[in-house]
Chains A and B, each alone.
Chain A
Amino acid sequence: MNRLNVSVSPHIHEGSSTATIMRDVLIALLPALIASVLIFGYRAALVTAVCVASCVLSEWLFEKALKRPSTIGDLSACVTGMLLAFSLPAGIPLWQAALGSVVAIIVIKQLFGGIGRNFANPAVTARIVMFLAFSGTMSAWTFPEGLFPAVNAVSSATADGMSAATSVVDGISSATPLAALSSGAAGATLPSLPDMLLGLRAGCIGETSAVALILGGVYLLARRIISWHAPAAFIGVVLALSLALGYDAPYQLLSGGLLLGAIFMATDYSTTPITKTGKLVFGAGCGLITALIRFYGSYPEGVSFAILLMNIATPYIDRGFVRKPIGGKAA
């Protein structure tokens, strides 16, 4: 007689999977990818491709070596690759981008147990590692040159006085608006606000186009992949502190990696709190640290550090903000 399956209820499922979620995140990152190619030229696409490929390959090789089932099908390594690429300058040497990807996947994700187990955001942490290891190329900003950048390599000191970029960079080096703001140089010219919205400014590959990032964020909200809590608290606190402390709020919002970080990194599942209240606390903490670093620290930008520090605080936030069950007695 034909045997029947038995299992514990429920016997139906909505049909989602980790891969469908990650696919939605990739879709949400597409506008920013397109914008980055239009703004920084083909090299933006090249760096992104190298990062994604290196991430997927290192995850596959690592799991192969440890005889674990491969998880590259869940697309999370692709997301990490894209997010890392988006927080790199377009002129980054490709081997450095690849190395950063290996660090992200193997050191930060897989060594801690793979997807869902890593306590720090792989893309954010790898970016910080690269920032410390390759501070020259990591702060050599190319000014937006469009699809067909100038071939002449020009190197110059960045406005915040950091080490000069080596001449591997295609295009014209330029200070990022944040660096210009931070150095307080009177002569530094800031891009106009419309340019900032569109992303026509120096900066990392995927962070400059506010319009594209917000479009992706709206998509993720509509698909219920992310909730508004962490991004709203993050951005809200940065804006509030900018206003309170006399900084130019619109520029603070649109420059640096604030939107990329708030929408795509402060909403990473593994490394941020689970409850809504926890997410608000997480976002507010990110906003506070970002503002403190931007306004008083020696680095012009603090989004990555803020997210990493709050990643570390996440288990404690989770412990402190457990939902009260309906009818539950105080334990």
Chain B
Amino acid sequence: MKRLARLKLTHNKHTAYSPPARIPTPPVVTIPMLMHIGAPAKPIVKAGDEVKVYQRIADAGGFVSSPVYSGVSGTVKSVGTARLASGQTAEAVVIETDGKQTPLPGITPPSVTSFEGFLEAVRESGVVGLGGAGFPTAVKLSIKDANRCEYVLINGAECEPYVTSDMRTMLDDGDMVWEGVLLIKRYFPRARIIIGIEDNKPECVESFRGRCETESGVEVAALRTRYPQGGEKMLIHATTGRVVPEDKLPIDAGVLVLNCTTLAVLARYIKTGVPLVEKCVTVDGPAVREPRNVISPIGTPVSALFDFCGGFVSEPKKVLFGGPMTGVAVADLDAPVMKNVNAVLAFAERDAELPAQTACIRCGRCVEICPMDLSPVQIEIAYQLGRAELLEKHKVNLCIECGNCAYVCPAHRRLVQVMKLSKPLLKKYRDEKKAAEKEASRT
């Protein structure tokens, strides 16, 4: 089996041994309706409404969407628009909390007796891909023929530096992750289940190996600690040797990949009826005084997380949702924690500015380090020339935006930015080509 290119990074997993602590309820939470890929959720509360913890505040806005629940009790202050970290704007429900955290009475587990019932429960739980992608989990699991699924991979790789929230979930909430594994086993009986964990987390590997001993069809794969081992395509290749074909989904290679925290949350919903309302978040970065893991209601402004971690040692100049390789830089400290946020990192002046770009010297390091075997140097030239047919030749659509190329580039080219900008160009070119072919076949 070909060994895909990987990068050795400094782990900086300072918070690995910090079990998450619940932060005090913030006075105000802002819950965006777009915390997933797909259509925004539709608010079902209005200003002045009383809400309780676990109360549904928004319905799914379509098939590819997800409902939203409140993690606080209090009064809805407004339903307005908010700018998201991604730059998109979406509706957001602002709730003034009462600090009592009164739970909604009558929370009961859903009755799940069939695969359809299971899917319905997953849809209702509000769970989306918690590894960061935010793709609605119910949509991912809605495959026409469950027998197509030969492998279900549980992603506990957590290859990004700093981030340890998945690790803490596997250790502190391991029973719930395991419940999820058993659910998957029940509803995908033909699939082999592999829990992929990077070998820099031996405690997690050991704990799940122990559980696997009495359970057939479930195994743990200790993966080499190399970035981006936890990328979906990388994990599939490392555990099954399979390759997801271009423009196809993992299921087309017979594989489903679920993040370990995603699994724990949906298992908790099915077991207790408690939906996704809070997140374990790693708060770290050189500017943070006391890095630690916290449990925070969704919608909490990141400033409250930093306050809980002792504030800053130096003025933050860059704040990220997610790890330093793929994380999104947020514009201000009011940005709310969302479903798919697993870490909040703060960097001071010194680390906030990337070195200046210089001319590409064609060293080829980006090509050597690309886990997808792409040629970023050629893609950048194609982009600069505006030549979509070259973008097609060099397959920019396969780029997983892991950031390896830009990380090693001695000229500090903004290669991931180029990839992101190139993809719509290629899509437009393909659409136009398809339209032209259709036109030609009609005449």
Contacts and interface: CB of A to CB of B under 8 A. Distances in A.
B392 interface: yes
B362 A326 contact: no
A4 interface: yes
A223 to B, nearest CB: 12
Contacts of B367: 274-275, 323
B332 A328 contact: no
B224 interface: no
A10 B359 contact: no
B440 interface: no
Nearest to B369: A14
A322 B378 contact: yes
Interface stretch (B21-29, B65-73, B171-179, B400-408): B400-408
Contact of A116 (B328, B352, B359): B359
B11 interface: no
Contacts of A18: 358-359, 361, 410-411
A327 interface: yes
B318 A11 contact: yes
A2 B395 contact: no
A8 B414 contact: yes
B360 A326 contact: no
Interface residues of B, number: 66
Contacts of B347: 11
A116 B360 contact: yes
A72 to B, nearest CB: 12
B370 to A, nearest CB: 8
Contact of B410 (A21, A322, A328): A21
Contacts of B417: 8
A11 B329 contact: yes
Given A323-B367, A326-B4, A13 B329 contact: no
A71 interface: yes
A8 B331 contact: no
B233 A327 contact: yes
Contacts of A146: none
Given A6-B331, A14-B408, A16-B410, A115 B359 contact: yes
A76 B359 CA distance: 12
A192 interface: no
B19 interface: no
Interface stretch (B136-144, B210-218, B239-247): B239-247
B374 A269 contact: no
A67 interface: no
Interface in B319-371: 319-320, 324-333, 347, 351-355, 358-364, 367, 371
Nearest to A114: B359
Interface string A298-331: 0000000000000000000010001111111101
A326 B233 contact: yes
A328 B318 contact: no
Nearest to B243: A327
Nearest to A12: B324
A189 interface: no
A135 interface: no
A8 B420 contact: yes
B398 interface: yes
Contacts of A9: 324-329, 401, 403, 406, 416
Chain A's interface size range is 35 or more
Interface in A86-129: 114-117
A152 interface: no
B317 interface: yes
Contact of A17 (B319, B326, B358): B358
Nearest to B2: A326
A12 B407 contact: yes
| Majority-rule SS of B interface residues | loop
Contact of B355 (A8, A13, A274): A13
Nearest to A1: B332
A251 B392 CA distance: 49
Contact of A326 (B317, B329, B373): B373
B275 interface: no
B392 A269 contact: no
Given A9-B326, A14-B407, A323-B367, A274 B245 contact: no
Nearest to A274: B364
A2 B332 CA distance: 8
B394 A329 contact: no
A182 interface: no
B393 A5 contact: no
Nearest to B285: A11
A325 B408 contact: no
Nearest to A278: B364
Contacts of B318: 4-7, 11
Contacts of B401: 9
A166 interface: no
A307 to B, nearest CB: 16
Contacts of A20: 410
A274 B367 CA distance: 8
B355 A17 contact: yes
Interface in A245-302: 269-270, 274-275
B329 A115 contact: no
A286 B398 CA distance: 35
Nearest to B12: A12
B385 to A, nearest CB: 14
Contacts of A322: 375, 378, 393-394
A117 B361 CA distance: 8
B384 to A, nearest CB: 12
Contacts of B416: 8-10
B295 interface: no
A145 interface: no
Nearest to A324: B373
Contacts of A114: 359
A327 B324 CA distance: 27
Nearest to B237: A326
26 contacts: A1-B332, A4-B317, A4-B319, A4-B329, A9-B328, A9-B401, A9-B403, A10-B325, A10-B406, A10-B416, A11-B325, A12-B161, A12-B324, A18-B410, A20-B410, A115-B359, A117-B359, A274-B375, A274-B377, A275-B375, A322-B393, A323-B373, A324-B373, A325-B373, A325-B394, A326-B233
Given A1-B332, A10-B416, A13-B412, 12 more contacts: A4-B332, A11-B318, A16-B410, A116-B362, A116-B411, A323-B367, A325-B395, A326-B371, A326-B372, A327-B244, A327-B372, A329-B246
The 7 tightest CB contacts between A and B, nearest first, are A10-B403, A274-B364, A6-B329, A8-B417, A16-B410, A12-B324, A325-B395
